[in-house]
């Protein structure tokens, strides 16, 4: 019998070439998970992620689903009702230290981690003190100057809502719709840490990092908050700001 | 003219062979600081630490002091009153990402970071959920089982006060007094994280890690809290518990 499982996964993306399995490297999150599950079930396994994070991007709670032969898990010595926990523990036993399955849960055959997702939350973290951050240095982007929060918040308000975000899409050959809805962009300071929290129905390739780069340029005064409508209307990547580095970005949540 | 500076330093000890400069490696915190200051001042420099942390141990706020030729700092283009900030920024420019000078401050010629210290605070952090900690995995010790907090707190109460801690000293050839005063040992749970906070007038070689290992054995039930007085009275390392691994330990503060 086959069973569909939903996985909730945390990872430190520093060492990886992103979520998606690739032919020329085994350093992807999806690849690591599939490798272990294929060894367990002795057949090809496809782990379906809710999205693709770029190289160097982290996740607190990525979700994915996978159809598995339950016999393979039962061999790990459990009743079917405990199979989720057994699957989680099996994966964690073989995963490297920088990837962890927080939860594995038996779900309906029809659950699809990407198609059923209704929203995602990303957080981008900057740091702006002259003293470098020692302990979370791999999870923040260190700024040379302090940006103006009020200006960035004004721009964030203009970015919220349903818009064509083509100017904030890193894929110039994108054929599908570039219309997305941003529910909110919250910008909060905690000491020297500036957290940009983006909630939306979905995000284009590089979108959160380009939004952050654009907001930072507004915070530095090289663009005005009021330039946002023109950037959106242009539908050209060249009109938006720089691509903020991957290491500051973390996928916080996928909503269903 | 020479000036004495007090440095407050954070470091991630993972890559280092401890604080103290050694002949056969340049991977020590003291060594890194001296290297940079010698390049700046073109003369031998001695950085005096408040204590020595072991290989792999971290520090949120180690303190040290160093006597420097102020001309060398002034060449960095500052007035004497700004020399502390200039010294901090100069060091941070050349230090690796995992060491950071939080503050450099001109102090009296007579200030000595070790002799003048009146107390230190160390924190040892354990983690006991079945899911591994991904983002702070290098700063915690992952436990297989959950220890009993109440038993450990009872033992912590018996360890507090002024005692001969010879049983908790990792140096079998220690010639000086092994009497120390522990002001308090606080054991707090934050989710899956267990923080042991030790405040005392000073700590012997490996003392905090042996105290933690002993408390954990009590928490696991392999020793009783009431065995503490006997362990102290024995004055033998073999009577105390195991040496908890370095990576869970962090020097939080040095008091003057």
Q: Which of A100, A131, A134 sits opposite B134 (nearest CB)?
A: A100
Cβ–Cβ under 8 Å, residues B167 and B242: no
DSSP secondary structure letter of residue A133: P
Pair (A139, A189) in one structural domain: yes
Q: What is the pLDDT of residues A125-137, one digit of tens each?
A: 999 998 889 999 9
Pair (B83, B129) in one structural domain: no
Neighbours of A1 (CB within 10 A): 8
Q: How far is B7 from chain A (nearest CA, A)?
A: 13
Q: Is A167 part of any domain?
A: yes
Which candidate in B8, B16, B88, B135 is best for mutational testing of the A interface (most A CBs within 10 A)? B135
Q: Could you write out the three-class secondary structure of chain B?
A: CEEEEEEEEEECHHHCCCCCCECCECCCHHHHHHHHHHHHHCCCCCEEECCCCCCCCEEEEEEEEEEEEHHHHHCCCCCHHHHHHHHHHHHHHHCCCCEEEEEEEEECCCCCCCCCCCEEEEEEEEECCCCCCCCCCCCCEECCCCCCHHHHHHHHHHHCEEEECHHHCCCCCCCCCCEEEEEEEEEEEECCEEEEEEEECCCCCCHHHHHHHHHHHHHHCCCCHHHHHHHHHHCCHHHCCCCCCHHHEEEEEEEC
Q: Is B113 part of any domain?
A: no
| Predicted local distance difference test score (pLDDT) of residue B74 | 67
End of a domain among B75, B107, B139? B107
Q: Which of A95, A101, A134 sits opposite B12 (nearest CB)?
A: A134
Question: From B98, which residue of chain A is nearest by alpha-carbon distance?
Answer: A134
| Predicted local distance difference test score (pLDDT) of residue A130 | 86
Rounded to an integer, the average pLDDT of A42-46 is: 94
> In which residue are the tokens 């993972």 written?
B14
Pair (A159, A245) in one structural domain: yes
Q: What are phi and psi of B208, to 5 degrees?
A: -65, -40
Task: Please count the residues of chain A.
Answer: 256
Tell me the whole-structure pTM to 2 decimals.
Answer: 0.90
| Predicted local distance difference test score (pLDDT) of residue A82 | 81
Q: Measured between beta carbons, which residues in chain B are less than 8 angstroms from residue A136?
A: 135
Neighbours of B134 (CB within 10 A): 20
Pair (A62, A173) in one structural domain: no
| Predicted local distance difference test score (pLDDT) of residue A238 | 97
The answer to whether residue A235 scores a pLDDT higher than 90 is: yes
Pair (A142, A81) in one structural domain: no
> In which residue are the tokens 């408390």 written?
B215
Q: Measured between beta carbons, which residues in chain B are less than 8 angstroms from residue A11?
A: 134
Dihedral sign, CA of B100, B105, B106, B108?
negative
Residues of B identified as active-site? 54
Question: Which range is most confident: A73-82, A236-245, B68-77?
Answer: A236-245
Strands B58-69 and B47-49, by their bridges, are antiparallel
* Interface contact A88-B12, CB threshold 8 A: no
Neighbours of B30 (CB within 10 A): 21
* Interface contact B134-A89, CB threshold 8 A: no
* Interface contact A102-B58, CB threshold 8 A: no
What's the first-to-final CA gap in chain B, in angstroms?
A: 26
The mean of the pLDDT values for chain B is 94
Q: What CATH number is associated with residue A170?
A: 3.30.70.660
Q: What CATH number is associated with residue A92?
A: 3.30.70.580
Give this complex's ipTM. Answer: 0.84
Pair (B94, B132) in one structural domain: no
* Interface contact A134-B101, CB threshold 8 A: no
Count: domains in chain A: 2
Strands B99-107 and B47-49, by their bridges, are unpaired
> Chain A interface residues facing chain B, Cβ-Cβ under 8 Å?
10-12, 58, 88-89, 92, 95, 97-102, 130-137, 139
End of a domain among B60, B78, B107? B107
* Interface contact B132-A58, CB threshold 8 A: no
At B1, the pLDDT band (50, 70, 90 cuts) reads confident
At B69, the pLDDT band (50, 70, 90 cuts) reads confident
Pair (B174, B222) in one structural domain: yes
Rounded to an integer, the average pLDDT of A57-85 is: 82
End of a domain among A86, A107, A128? A107
* Interface contact A135-B136, CB threshold 8 A: yes
Question: From B58, which residue of chain A is nearest by alpha-carbon distance?
Answer: A135
> In which residue are the tokens 């908790």 written?
B168
**Pairwise CA distance, residues A204 & A207, whole Å:** 5
Question: From B132, which residue of chain A is nearest by alpha-carbon distance?
Answer: A100
Is A26 catalytic? The answer is: no
> In which residue are the tokens 């070790």 written?
B114
Pair (A134, A103) in one structural domain: no
Q: Which of B92, B133, B134 sits opposite A132 (nearest CB)?
A: B92
Domain that holds residue B42: 2-107
The answer to whether residue A163 scores a pLDDT higher than 90 is: yes
The answer to whether residue B79 scores a pLDDT higher than 70 is: no
């Amino acid at each position: 019998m086959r069973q569909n499982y939903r996985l909730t996964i945390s990872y430190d993306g520093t060492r990886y070439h992103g979520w998606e399995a690739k032919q020329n490297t085994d350093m992807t999150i999806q690849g690591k998970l599939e490798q272990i599950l294929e060894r367990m079930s002795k057949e090809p396994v496809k782990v379906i992620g809710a999205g693709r994070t770029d190289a160097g991007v982290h996740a607190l709670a990525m979700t994915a689903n996978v159809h598995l032969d339950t016999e393979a898990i039962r061999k790990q010595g459990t009743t079917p009702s405990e199979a989720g926990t057994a699957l989680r523990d099996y994966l964690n036993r073989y995963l490297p230290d920088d990837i962890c399955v927080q939860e594995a849960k038996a779900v309906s055959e029809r659950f699809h981690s990407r198609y059923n997702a209704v929203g995602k939350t990303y957080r981008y973290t900057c740091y702006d003190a002259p003293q470098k951050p020692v302990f979370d240095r791999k999870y923040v982007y260190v700024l040379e100057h302090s940006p103006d929060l009020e200006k960035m918040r004004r721009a964030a308000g203009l970015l919220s809502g349903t818009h064509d975000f083509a100017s904030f899409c890193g894929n110039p050959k994108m054929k599908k719709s570039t219309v997305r809805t941003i529910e909110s962009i919250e910008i909060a300071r905690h000491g020297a840490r500036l957290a940009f929290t983006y909630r939306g129905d979905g995000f284009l390739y590089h979108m959160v990092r380009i939004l952050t780069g654009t907001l930072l340029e507004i915070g530095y005064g090289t663009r005005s908050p009021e330039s946002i409508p023109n950037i959106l209307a242009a539908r050209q990547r060249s009109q938006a700001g720089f691509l903020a580095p991957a290491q500051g970005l973390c996928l916080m949540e996928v909503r269903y």
